[in-house]
Amino acid sequence: MFRNDDVCIVSSSIKIPLPYISKRPTCPLRTAHSHIANATNSIAQLVNSFTSHSTELTRSVLQKSSLLCSATLSLTGDLERKCPIRRLASLSLAEEAQQKARQNEERVLISEVLVRNKDGEELERKDLEAEAAQALKACRPNSALTVREVQEDVHRIINSGYFSSCMPVAVDTRDGIRLVFQVEPNQEFQGLVCEGANVLPAKFLEDSMRDGYGKIINLRRLDEALSSINNWYMERGLFAMVSAVEILSGGILRLQVSEAEVDNISIRFLDRKTGETTMGKTKPETILRQITTKKGQVYSMLEGKRDVETVLTMGIMEDVSIIPQPADTGKVDLVMNVVERPSGGFSAGGGISSGITNGPLRGLIGSFAYSHRNVFGKNQKLNISLERGQIDSVYRINYTDPWIQGDDKRTSRTIMIQNSRTPGTIVHGNADGNGSLTIGRITGGIEFSRPIRPKWSGTVGLVFQHAGVRDEQGIPIIKDCYSSPLTASGNTHDDTLLAKLETVYTGSGDHGSSMFVLNMEKGLPLLPEWLSFTRVNARARKGVEIGPARLHLSISGGHVVGNFSPYEAFAIGGTNSVRGYEEGSVGSGRSYVVGSGEVSFPVYGPVEGVIFSDYGTDLGSGPTVPGDPAGARKKPGSGYGYGFGIRVESPLGPLRLEYAFNDKQDKRFHFGVGHRN
């Protein structure tokens, strides 16, 4: 056999990282791009700009790195004229691409296949030699190979992740052609430098790379570690990614993380009809203080979504969207597009009063209101309303500032003035007389509310009340037909200054979620004739899914200590209490407990069916109420009811029609609007 010592296979400048990335869809750079780019169309624009900058940086880093391999075979000397392999060895990669269409590629017999280092010597680490040998698929001893098969095995060695370069060299021996893969292993991982990661926890970064310390850097495992870092950002909606990777001398791995910080936030008002930019009535600072995204922080799409929902809950916007736009130096500008709702107007409607159970109109109420949602462009609310029924009426003025300026705790303030007249039948009415008593109240006060913690809020307030009882001619009276007192002071009116404290827990916010309310009121006797008492009231509700149905459990209770007016007693029975009874006909007590269970199930579209059972008791406290109005009217003090009904969703809230039986075998229809209290 002739000698071909001057035959060699030399390296060319074909870069492995970019093909490696293109062949692996899980590469962190491409994965981050695809996930973020698919999030929203607006984000895609920023991603393209952001990624183009990152790609340039990545390309410059990779060009400096040593992650090169040979993938070209060429021949030197006059062997081309003598050796049968000359046509095979003279093919470059470009020519090989044209030869792929040929069915018959000439093959060269290889007698031996070895893995050596770049100097042709055995590798110090036999485990790496075994990894490279295991990656070979086509190149086996005593096999006839083509250029394409050798090239594919070169890529398989590189794709194993342990080597930075691989060069196949053909050596002619007396036994035949020996094919030597000269490889250069990656360095051992000795340290990590991460730049630009301002929000990524250092511990998470260390944990991602911990298993690789002191080991040969494997590009596949490195890919997985980078993917975990990018996934950490994606799970939190943060607009960031690992944009460059470089292996420095000494086994130091350098990561460059690009985090898009918010550079500027602006508000753009759009016309609700044309969509064109227009002048807004709301002050921009009123909107900006509602959002949690601030200048200088890494932009989070999840936080941006919450900001949109927060601005919508202000009640003054019809539509809200956030459009990220690329800014200089890799930052991002946020433009919030808002469409304002009409800020004020008049409205009219109607409803049902559960306190009216007799008469031709049976509690029908008409209402008229004026509201302004955005007073002074500061999201402050003004409501002036009038409700008028057969007996009861309510005149109310409310002024609410949802967020007091200068307060960082989101404290709201409400100023209220109200003049109301409600039926006295709940406490004092029955078939024997006094069915037309009305309780008049003039109240005015101020309340402050603020979030305490997630899902919890608190309210404190001070309310003054001037209240008394009138007969059907509107004349103030102090005793009923049983000669029982109607006021606590013995005068025609009782005056009370109430200090109020309330805490509320709400689950998801819908009616079926968990809820807890604790309300405490204290009468402050600043003047001798003012009433002094303490009233505590609590309500709790829990919803449980049972297949397509839902079980609702609720319980409420309260107690009063001190000198209070009889009409302030807890009334038990009625549509929002124990169904099957008239309003207040179970009892009127100083204490009470009412429990209810309901099973609701879908029937058709917005219609639901419901089966319910209620129980209420005054805990034997009826006689302790001044004048014992319940005992005089022979109210049982406790009772239960059960029945069935339907619910229909409407713009006014759920319309409830229920048919109930009580423990006295009486039957009664109940109609209501809205959820039970």
Return d(Cα 339, Cα 269) in angstroms, integer: 6
Q: Quote the pLDDT of residue 14.
A: 26
Percentage of the chain modeled with pLDDT above 70: 81
Q: Quote the pLDDT of residue 436.
A: 73
- Using 50, 70 and 90 to split pLDDT, how confident is the model at 333? very high
Q: In the CATH hierarchy, which fold is given to the domain comprising 108-185? A: Ubiquitin-like (UB roll) (3.10.20)
Q: Is 666 exposed, middle or buried (0-12, 13-18, 19+ CB in 10 A)?
A: middle
- Would 261-340 and 344-673 be classified into the same CATH topology? no
| Closest alpha carbon to 512 in 554, 555, 475, 547 | 554
**Domain 188-259 - what CATH class?**
alpha beta
Return d(Cα 272, Cα 342) in angstroms, integer: 10
pTM: 0.69
pLDDT score of 512 more than 70: no
Return phi, psi of residue 342, to 5°: -55, 130
* 87 C-beta neighbours (distance < 10 Å), count: 12
Please list, residue by residue across 339-365, b when 16 or more beta carbons sit within 10 angstroms of its beta carbon and e when fewer do.
Answer: bbeeeeeeeeeebbbbbbbbeeeebeb
- Whole-number mean pLDDT of the chain? 82
Q: Quote the pLDDT of residue 472.
A: 82
Q: Given the structure tokens 């060009």, which residue do they identify?
A: 63
pLDDT score of 16 more than 80: no
Q: Residue 21 in 3-state DSSP? A: helix
* Least confident range of 454-468, 488-502, 509-523: 509-523
Percentage of the chain modeled with pLDDT above 90: 62
Q: Quote the pLDDT of residue 424.
A: 82
- Using 50, 70 and 90 to split pLDDT, how confident is the model at 502? very high
What Cα–Cα distance (Å) separates residue 261 from each residue in 34, 56, 298, 671? Answer: 20, 20, 4, 56
Q: Listing from the earlier edge strand, what are the strands of the sheet with 176-185?
A: 143-145, 108-117, 176-185, 163-173
Return d(Cα 189, Cα 234) in angstroms, integer: 27
Indicate the domain borders of the chain: 108-185, 188-259, 261-340, 344-673
Return d(Cα 619, Cα 586) in angstroms, integer: 12
Note the pLDDT tens digit of each residue in 627-657.
999 998 899 999 999 999 999 988 777 889 9
pLDDT score of 249 more than 60: yes
Q: Quote the pLDDT of residue 365.
A: 75
How would CATH label the architecture of 344-673?
A: Beta Barrel (2.40)
Note the pLDDT tens digit of each residue in 143-180.
999 989 999 999 999 999 999 899 999 998 888 899 99
pLDDT score of 92 more than 70: no
Return d(Cα 353, Cα 574) in angstroms, integer: 11
Determine the average pLDDT of the residues in 380-393.
88
Q: Quote the pLDDT of residue 510.
A: 67
DSSP string covering 217-277: --HHHHHHHHHHHHHHHHHTTB-EEEEEEEEETTTEEEEEEEE-BEEEEEEEEB-TTT--B
Q: In this structure, are residues 629 and 583 in contact, taking their beta carbons and an 8 Å threshold?
A: no
- Write out the E strands in 524-575: 533-546, 549-562, 570-572
pLDDT score of 486 more than 80: yes
Return d(Cα 126, Cα 302) in angstroms, integer: 49
Q: In this structure, are residues 230 and 28 in contact, taking their beta carbons and an 8 Å threshold?
A: yes
**Domain 261-340 - what CATH class?**
alpha beta
> What are the residues facing 344 on neighbouring strands?
372
